[in-house]
A and B are shown apart, each in its own frame.
Chain A
């Protein structure tokens, strides 16, 4: 047992393998936040007047807000004036094709395991890659355009499809929504934009890869996905960052809109740098994600694997407005070492016959603190609403914590709401059973953990599910005692 712990501790020291820095020339703005910075960002991106106005309104509102303190996470105060709100790889003009993208960046993505070119050819996954603040490459664009699907960087969408952006930007997460969403609204730099027209089923998985590279920058991306009537789209996002000994802020906003009979599937594999063993450095991942099931029979499904970040603070939510609309949330959150996660979902039932399912799996190891915080709200108008929630926590080691804070608010007597939660450690007898059959303890734990998470992983698209499985075993390596 004790030798096992030693080996395990060695394993725990394994480095975060995406922690390298790419040496490229960066174009940045000075640190700090004021109206001039916002004007500069807006000017750099050649934005129309209305968008600048919108940013400024958000900024002015942000000044009146206080940073929220209710989450079950602890961190020293953030100095918002020390953050650089814009960093972009330097280049003369927008790349027309992948050949024009800085080879250094392409190499970075290769090291991260997403060879853009290869993906274009083989995997058939359309990738939008966001490097620090700007989108550097979008693959497969033409092919999508044939079907009328718009998939591009947010800045491009602002230039080329301003009517769509203007109509939907802030319609799900208004700029007054919360402290971090408001900050994002003021300074967001880039992100992905996707519009799937009526009746089109997007033939491939769309994907965005986010990477924070420059020091002291924050990443504030904004994603907007619209599925028009009868459309279907599956969207993946992945994230990494280099190792730094200071904390970096990531405050993104994701807005999804599903019209009549549309379906959006949004999957995240979040692996921002989690900080070292002592909790130095790492990304603060303060994200607002929300989907609006606006149309009848619409469906939004969130799947997430949260293994990275020093602190995760996010609640992908669904507003179930359309009749018979469906919201789903599948999550695996892992906290190891000194990581903290306060994550969950909100399901707001507004329309009749709306249904939601929540499956949340939390794994805490080391000194990790893992909190599920979720809300299920059934409004008076939501006749025959149905919710099922299940949150399970797995504890590995005696220094970690697992917490559950579900809020169920029911204002309609026809609602059926069920919530179940369990917390336990890996069963000694399960471990024993595996070991007795010659499976090493480490493998046995991996086996049990992946079984624990299976319900969520089966919701991920295939390529991601494989990656997620690997990521999970890396995150937990060395935590078995």
Chain B
């Protein structure tokens, strides 16, 4: 499985040539060009090393050395899709599964595979316009190699009550496989909707998910976006979410990372119009030997924009957490109001966290704050539980749950919140790798 970097590189080249060949006749000219540019960029950037500031704490060498082949089509196992996902697009190993996806959509919504001819106009116009790949090798790789993806278009003024699900299921096979899911969401002016992206896997085997999501919210749109990642521990999961917000547009973003042996999420937003506001809400829970890395960047490009960021991490076992939150205030972006907080709970002596909140401010009439904390459960609180006859283990679970649950509390789609609360409890319960324990 472990191959030389050279060998692995050759496989990426094969994959690119194959993708280029396959889509040569059907893809719009702009996308073909984009693919070629992205491939060139990936070739010159290569996989990052820990010398790269953005990848200082996340070593992707094992990923770079693995000989990944493009994931083959596979049959999804029954019962993996959540019941609550009614309006949904389903992708298995990066390919659109029409049978499992909804045929009809709520009024004002058009959704489907990006190969769907009826969505061709929006794809041609907007795909790849937001997620920049000049500095990010994984975005470049995705742009060069993506097979398929989800497109959701929300019409101007449409208020969509039903959450729209995009489910990516990875079904690994015997040998390491890679897929590059792509999502494009275009929300029209004054539209309102919730989009839920769910990443799951079924079965064992090494695989690599390299996802890119672009979400553009036009003037006064109100969008809630979920990104829930629950892949198996054999997964490498690298993802970039790029938001673009017009005047008065509001985005509430939830980023939950539970799974994957190595997970890296970049969540970025450009607040590109007065009155735009963005809330980034994030939770990462890791144990065992997981590494979970969250990078966020809020680019306040226009005056009178505001952002709030709440990221929390729970690290157990030998897990490593990384958080890097950047707030950028461009020259002239007066009256920016940005607040960021990152709180981390270390549950075991072997767990570690590297956090780097970062402010870059080029305007004066602003209010920006950030805070970061690292700590452990309050012994006195545990003692209080124990005086009431609640065992130490349960006390720890409850306190940890309480620490993490306020992130989930900001979620507005009830079934999702409830399901994640149950999942969180399940993950906190097996105290196998809890270190010194009770």
Contacts and interface: CB of A to CB of B under 8 A. Distances in A.
A424 interface: yes
Contacts of A419: 355, 357, 370-373
A481 to B, nearest CB: 9
Interface residues of A, number: 34
A425 interface: yes
A397 B364 contact: yes
Interface string A172-214: 0000000000000000000000000000000000000000000
B432 interface: no
A401 B374 contact: no
A415 B360 CA distance: 28
Interface in B77-105: none
A315 B361 CA distance: 21
Nearest to B435: A413
Interface in A385-414: 393, 395-414
A417 B346 CA distance: 11
Given A413-B346, A413-B349, A408 B374 contact: yes
B354 A408 contact: yes
A344 B364 CA distance: 21
Contact of A413 (B57, B331, B348): B348
Contacts of A425: 364-366
Nearest to A420: B371
Interface string B335-347: 0000000001011
Interface string A410-449: 1111111111111111000000000000000000000000
B369 A411 contact: no
Contacts, number: 117
Contact of A417 (B57, B357, B364, B374): B374
A405 B349 contact: no
A75 interface: no
A70 interface: yes
Contacts of A412: 346, 349, 352
B8 interface: no
Contacts of B36: none
B23 interface: no
A418 B372 CA distance: 6
Contacts of B344: 410
A407 B354 contact: yes
Contacts of A420: 369-371
A328 B114 CA distance: 57
Contacts of A402: 359, 361
B366 A395 contact: yes
Nearest to A417: B374
A400 B350 CA distance: 42
Contacts of A397: 364
Q: Is the interface of A mostly helix, strand, loop or mixed?
A: strand
Contacts of A414: 349, 376
Contact of A403 (B359, B369, B374, B375): B359
Contacts of A417: 372-375
A255 B370 CA distance: 32
B362 interface: yes
B141 interface: no
A423 B351 contact: no
B25 interface: no
Given A404-B357, A410-B346, A425-B366, A398 B372 contact: no
B58 to A, nearest CB: 13
A417 B371 CA distance: 11
B363 interface: yes
Interface string B352-393: 111111111111111111111111100000000000000000
A424 B348 contact: no
Q: Which 6 A-B pairs have the closest CB atoms?
A: A395-B364, A413-B346, A417-B374, A404-B359, A423-B368, A411-B352
Given A403-B361, A420-B371, A423-B368, 14 more contacts: A70-B53, A393-B359, A398-B363, A398-B365, A404-B358, A408-B372, A412-B349, A412-B352, A413-B376, A419-B370, A422-B367, A422-B368, A423-B361, A423-B367
29 contacts: A70-B53, A380-B349, A395-B365, A398-B334, A398-B364, A401-B360, A401-B361, A401-B362, A402-B361, A403-B359, A407-B355, A408-B354, A408-B372, A410-B354, A413-B346, A413-B349, A413-B376, A416-B374, A416-B375, A418-B372, A419-B373, A420-B370, A421-B357, A421-B371, A423-B361, A423-B366, A423-B369, A425-B365, A425-B366
Interface of A: 70, 380, 393, 395-425
